[in-house]
Amino acid sequence: MQVDDRRSKLLEVIRRKGFASLPDLAGEMQVSESTVRRDLDRLEENGAAKRTHGGVFYTGSSPNLPHFDIRQSLSLQKKKEIAQAAAELIDDGDSILLDGGTTTYELAQLLVGRHVHVVTNSLPVANLFASAAESDLVLIGGYILHRTGVAVGPTAAQMLADLRVRRAMLSVASVAEGGFFNNNLLIVEAERAMMRAADEVIVLADSTKFGHQSLAQLCELSEVDKIVSDHELADHWRATFEQAGGEAIIAAPFPSAAKSESLA
């Protein structure tokens, strides 16, 4: 079997399992553990997998859900930059709420293997942490939206009302002078419950989401403690949010992105 074919098959095994141990992978692939280690080195470089104590997690492309198929291809570089900046705001031992947005999914991938307490209503996010021995996971239940894989409704709201976390990391569809917005009333209801459960509310939103409104208002600008956006966010929006009493954090572009801009 060619090296590329073997690595593709290895990645598919990890994707299917979500988590796998080194001996299991060697047995299924019928190769030595040293070969698996070399292949995992390359998969980690590509961001498709992440090793931790006892095995390896799948951290590759997004779940096969309509929401991710449409959204994750949009501004993907910006989402990854924002996720990196947001990950730096989280301390080991933190309790965090993660919603089902595509940018928060990018953040979740960076947190796999860290000592954090994760609460989420997102099945894709929960799957990343389901076998992570370093993390504690609480999955919020309720009615599952098939496009996004998130739980919403009265059951989700009741579970969230009984919890308290240090930080809620939320995604939104748009940001305007009137506040933060999303496109689904049920998601907005769940995210409001998340906000009430958190000591600090942080919104992750790339610069393309600023300047327009969506179907339902999540909250006023003043109700969010921090926003994390990319370096293309206009100064006007940064100043507007800070005037509302929050802190705007601008993610640094990845070196490849910065180099491309300098050559443009």
Q: Which CATH class name applies to 3-58?
A: mainly alpha
DSSP for 49-97, please give it.
EEEETTEEEE--SPPS-HHHHHHTTTTHHHHHHHHHHHHTTPPTT-EEE
What confidence tens digit (pLDDT) does each residue in 226-239 have?
999 999 999 999 99
Query: For residue 238, what pLDDT is reported?
Result: 95
Query: For residue 263, is pLDDT > 60?
Result: no
Domains 3-58 and 66-259 equal at CATH topology level? no
Q: Show me where the domains of the chain are located.
A: 3-58, 66-259
Distances (CA, A) of 154 to 161, 169, 201, 252: 10, 21, 21, 39
pTM of the model: 0.75
When the candidates are 3.40.50.10470, 3.40.50.170, 3.30.200.20, 3.20.20.70, the CATH number that belongs to 66-259 is: 3.40.50.10470
Compute and round to an integer the Cα radius of gyration of the chain.
19
What tokens does 143 get? 């009615």
User: Which of 81, 84, 108, 120 minimizes the C-alpha distance to 198?
Assistant: 120
Lowest-confidence segment of 33-42, 61-70, 75-84 by average pLDDT: 61-70
What confidence tens digit (pLDDT) does each residue in 167-216 have?
999 999 999 999 999 999 999 999 999 999 999 999 999 999 999 999 99
